[in-house]
Every structure is written in structure tokens, then in C-alpha cells.
A = this chain, B = another copy of it.
């Protein structure tokens, strides 16, 4: 039997309208390229979003059109999120760090009709314009005084707003209307686009907000290091106004001292970003001998946080919340928040749980399965392919039927591409990316497990484990090490690894490199490493060091 309740579409515009009314003084603070600090309240932002929406309509933007952004974190980027989706168009965020050919591909594949770029990113568009679609229009996120001379005909953002009314009667949109588009950076194959809806976006904000009540609420000030061009900045542009938290956009400088300064000045309570950023902040905290005033929370995701980092923050009284998600998941799937039954956890056990990837948020279902697709137990031991199902998960890539076939099972679960275990308490541990796993003689070897142990050597600054083709075993692991101040000996590294792994799981060789290649989203590009070391064979000193380590173990 159907119930008798009003059905109103969940709409993104309502989030900011609500913030403007209920949390009018909560604000967006932006450190600008120019070096100054800009402030606007949610009330002011809502007015400017209305102006922008009218301006977009004047430019001819219609429901369903894709309007792209090429921008760092800042209030104008935030405003684009709301104005574009508010009129039924699609806000397509583009990572400015993707290679030229990918950017060209993405703009063309998305069918963007207009692209707004930060002042500092206009040169990218000028360079690529000849390869971009002929009908594409260009805008620059600045005012008339700062607008650059350009080979492009540029719409000036503030000029566009200036002529318009600061009020908008937002159109009624079905809640499955497309609202946003984000492409994954494509470590294999071409980039693939996830097309978010108003429903998925509002539900994601609600799901995450009820999971993080100590962070997402009035009076809190949150700093997203995670970019607005990267999976919706983990949803903060929606969850912060929804709950009345303020946003502090840190600008381009993300080194430890710069972050410390802005966090202290702006009384930031919670900062969200990838582990490497927090390592830099930690160093500054150690140097200063104190925390930035008011800091109480770090939310970490993107890749696994080292246990030592978790320990260091927790010891200083900063709560570490490990989150996990994907572009295809809006993105957040899990958060490392504790519940009543964790009250008795001791320091070490507590930190071990905190270093895992967290537990599912309400609304997101997770399962791990074996090679035959059979569900595996959540016992903390079984490791399998991780699947997710939720209103916040993609139902298929944009204009890419071929890619869809591989990633959904018969019940509509999305294959995340991760290999994971889930412990009896619901905490997720990502063992590896499926494509990074090394299959040696029919057995799987986790690259992440090897890397985590190798990172424990004091002179290993960074490292990565990749598969190298092997005639006998199929694949064998190779460890690539970025040395610290002095180069560690291979024997020492093998000995350290031999404490934790069986002989067949150990790398066949170790190579030293000055640095590791990164993807556009700042992750280590194992795809590039695999190409570089495709022909690598173990050297004599590899073999000697391995034998030495084995002998020390008595084998």
C-alpha cells in the first residue's frame, strides 16, 4: 500500500537556501591567489549564487548543459557548484593537473558548452584552445580590474553577476536530475565520468553529516585541503552549509607552515585531506611544539594513513577520522568514528582501529566477495573484492556503456576495484587496489602490506611495490624506494620485510629512485612505475641481500 505523504524533490539549491536562512553568519573564508583573504557569509553566497544563476541563463545555459570548472578551492568555485546545478545544468569539475590530452578528451567527451577557469589557470585553456571543441565558451573567475589580456574571448565572472538580481525562484527539478560530473583520472584507459544527481548529492550530505556530528555542526570551522575539483571535496560544499559549519579554503600553499598559519588564524577545528598533507602539518607542529589553536580533528582519506601519523595526532589530542570512498561513490563510503562500545579501547588498540579505513555511513552497503562472487564473512581475515551499493553510488559511467559491464554484479552492486577485509566491528581495511595486487604462482601478494612494512625503515622516505612480469611465476613484486637522508642497505630492508612475510611474498628486487611519479590526483602512479620497470630483473646484490636476510632468519 502506498502511503500518503507529500513527495518533494530533494534539491541542491535548498541546501544553500537553508544555510542562508538558518546559518546566515556562517562563512566561506578563501585565501586568494592574490594573497589576500576573502570572506562571505552563506547569506551573501546565496545572493551571489542567485545572480550567477541568472547570468548563466542569460548566456543561454539550459537544463542539461554541462558547464565546466577549472579552479582551485575558493568561494567562486563554491558558487558555481550551486548556480549551475540550481538551474538544472551540470557542474563538471575538472582537475587542472591532468595531462593535456586527458583534459581535451574530458571536455569533448562531456560536451561542455562553457568552462570557467581561475586566473592562474587561463594559460592552460589558451594553450589547449586549438584542440578544444569550436563551440566552447570561456570564462574567468575574477573581476574586470584583474581580467587578463587573452587570446580567448573571456566572460568575466564578476561582470556576469553584477547586472543580476540576488534572488532566485529555483526551478522544480525531478530529484534524479543530473547535477554534477566528475571524471576519474584514469590510471587505466580513458577517464570515466560519474554523473551525480540532486538526490544522490543531498542524501550524501545527510548521510555524512549524521555520521560526523562532532565535526559537521554550527560553530565548527572546517578546512578542506581536498580540492573542489576532486570528487566534490568529499561533499563538504554541501554538508558544511547543511549543518551550519563554516568553510576555510586554504589557497594554493599547502605546506605545513602555511597550513598551520591559516588554521590558527581562522580557528579551524577540523581539516580534511590526504595523508601527505598531514605529514607536513605534523612536522610544523613538532617544530612549533604546539597545535594550531582550536584544532581538534583531522579527516584523512585518499590513501591509507600511516599508523605513526594516527598515533602522533591522537597523542596530541587531535581526533583522527579515517574516511574511504571513491569518485563513483560521491565519494564517502566509510568514516572512522567510534561508538559506545569503543569507550574501553586502550591507546594502542584504539590507534590500530583508527588507522583502518572506517565503518560504513548510513545508507551505504558494503560486501566483500570471493572469485566466484560469493559473500565472504566480516571476520577481519577474509580478503575479497569490495562492492558497494547505495543511493550515492554510480549506476553507470557517462556515455560509456562498455566500461559499465565490468563494474556491476547481477544485483546492482558496484565493484570498487579494491581488495579489502571487514572486521567483526565493521571496520574496513583496504588490502590493495585489484589492479595493484601481484599474482605470483596463483597466490595474491598485497603491494600495500609490503609498502607499509618497508615504510617502517627510518631511511625509507617513500616507496611503492609493483608487479613485474615473470616467466615462471606470472608476476613477482619489485620494491621501489625513495631514500631518506642516507641510502638504506638492501639487506636491512629485506630483513625488515622478512620479519612479517613468507619468503615467496618478498620482493625479488629493490630499486632506488629520487621520487615516485604521481597521478593528477596526487597518488603514486603505479601504472607509470610498471612501464619504467617492465624489463627489470633482479640484480646480483638483490639476490645476495635476500639470501642474507633469509640466513639471518635461519632459512
The reply to whether A3 and B206 form a contact with Cβ atoms under 8 Å apart is: no
The reply to whether B213 and A23 form a contact with Cβ atoms under 8 Å apart is: no
The reply to whether B5 and A197 form a contact with Cβ atoms under 8 Å apart is: yes
The reply to whether B23 and A340 form a contact with Cβ atoms under 8 Å apart is: yes
A90-B1, A195-B5 in contact; A217/B218 too (CB < 8 A)?
Answer: no
The answer to whether A139 has its CB under 8 Å from any CB of chain B is no
Q: Give the chain B neighbours of A10 by CB distance below 8 A.
A: 391
The reply to whether A213 and B243 form a contact with Cβ atoms under 8 Å apart is: yes
The reply to whether A412 and B6 form a contact with Cβ atoms under 8 Å apart is: yes
Docked Cα-Cα span, A151 to B526, in Å, equals 76
A23-B339, A25-B340, A206-B206 in contact; A64/B1 too (CB < 8 A)?
Answer: yes
- Kindly report which residue of chain B lies nearest to residue A243, judged by CB atoms: B210
The answer to whether A24 has its CB under 8 Å from any CB of chain B is yes
Interface hit among A140-148, A172-180, A496-504? A172-180
CB distance from A237 to the nearest CB of B (A): 15
Interface hit among A303-311, A394-402, A469-477? A394-402
Which of B210, B243, B391 contacts A5, CB < 8 Å? B391
Q: Give the chain B neighbours of A246 by CB distance below 8 A.
A: 340
The answer to whether A418 has its CB under 8 Å from any CB of chain B is no
The reply to whether A362 and B18 form a contact with Cβ atoms under 8 Å apart is: yes
The answer to whether A531 has its CB under 8 Å from any CB of chain B is no
User: Which residues 62-94 of A sit at the B interface, judged by CB distance below 8 A?
Assistant: 63-64, 90
The answer to whether A430 has its CB under 8 Å from any CB of chain B is no
CB distance from A422 to the nearest CB of B (A): 10
The reply to whether A395 and B426 form a contact with Cβ atoms under 8 Å apart is: no
The reply to whether A5 and B392 form a contact with Cβ atoms under 8 Å apart is: yes
- Kindly report which residue of chain B lies nearest to residue A204, judged by CB atoms: B5
The answer to whether A284 has its CB under 8 Å from any CB of chain B is no
The answer to whether A389 has its CB under 8 Å from any CB of chain B is yes
Interface string of A1-13 (1 = CB under 8 A from B): 1111111101000
Docked Cα-Cα span, A352 to B196, in Å, equals 43
Q: Give the chain B neighbours of A51 by CB distance below 8 A.
A: none
Residue among A178, A196, A340 with the most chain B CB within 10 A? A340
Q: Give chain A's interface residue range (CB within 8 Å of chain B).
A: 35 or more
The answer to whether A367 has its CB under 8 Å from any CB of chain B is no
The answer to whether A219 has its CB under 8 Å from any CB of chain B is yes
Which of B7, B341, B359 contacts A176, CB < 8 Å? B7
The reply to whether B2 and A178 form a contact with Cβ atoms under 8 Å apart is: yes
The answer to whether A57 has its CB under 8 Å from any CB of chain B is no
CB distance from A284 to the nearest CB of B (A): 28
A195-B3, A206-B206, A213-B216 in contact; A244/B391 too (CB < 8 A)?
Answer: no
Q: Give the chain B neighbours of A176 by CB distance below 8 A.
A: 2-3, 5, 7
The answer to whether A108 has its CB under 8 Å from any CB of chain B is no
- Kindly report which residue of chain B lies nearest to residue A65, judged by CB atoms: B1
The answer to whether A321 has its CB under 8 Å from any CB of chain B is no
A195-B4, A426-B21 in contact; A210/B242 too (CB < 8 A)?
Answer: yes
The reply to whether A391 and B6 form a contact with Cβ atoms under 8 Å apart is: yes
The answer to whether A338 has its CB under 8 Å from any CB of chain B is yes
CB distance from A412 to the nearest CB of B (A): 6
The reply to whether B393 and A178 form a contact with Cβ atoms under 8 Å apart is: no
- Kindly report which residue of chain B lies nearest to residue A206, judged by CB atoms: B206
A210-B206, A213-B217, A242-B210 in contact; A360/B5 too (CB < 8 A)?
Answer: no
Q: Give the chain B neighbours of A4 by CB distance below 8 A.
A: 178, 194-195, 197, 394-398
The reply to whether A391 and B340 form a contact with Cβ atoms under 8 Å apart is: no
Q: Give the chain B neighbours of A340 by CB distance below 8 A.
A: 23, 25-26, 218-219, 244, 246
Docked Cα-Cα span, A90 to B1, in Å, equals 9
Docked Cα-Cα span, A463 to B244, in Å, equals 40
Interface string of A137-181 (1 = CB under 8 A from B): 000000000000000000000000000000000000010111100
Interface string of A329-360 (1 = CB under 8 A from B): 01000000111110100000000000000011
Residue among A217, A243, A390 with the most chain B CB within 10 A? A217
Q: Give the chain B neighbours of A393 by CB distance below 8 A.
A: 5-6
The reply to whether A7 and B395 form a contact with Cβ atoms under 8 Å apart is: yes
In order of increasing CB-CB distance, the 10 nearest A-B pairs are A3-B197, A1-B64, A25-B341, A213-B213, A3-B178, A5-B200, A213-B217, A4-B195, A206-B206, A23-B339
| 30 pairs, CB–CB < 8 Å, chain A vs chain B | A2-B197, A3-B178, A3-B198, A4-B197, A4-B394, A5-B195, A5-B196, A5-B392, A5-B393, A6-B391, A6-B395, A7-B391, A8-B363, A21-B359, A22-B339, A22-B360, A22-B362, A23-B339, A23-B340, A24-B339, A25-B339, A25-B341, A206-B207, A206-B210, A209-B210, A209-B213, A213-B214, A218-B338, A219-B343, A242-B362
Additional 9 contacts, C-beta under 8 A, given A3-B176, A5-B176: A1-B63, A3-B178, A10-B391, A18-B360, A21-B360, A22-B359, A26-B340, A213-B243, A242-B362
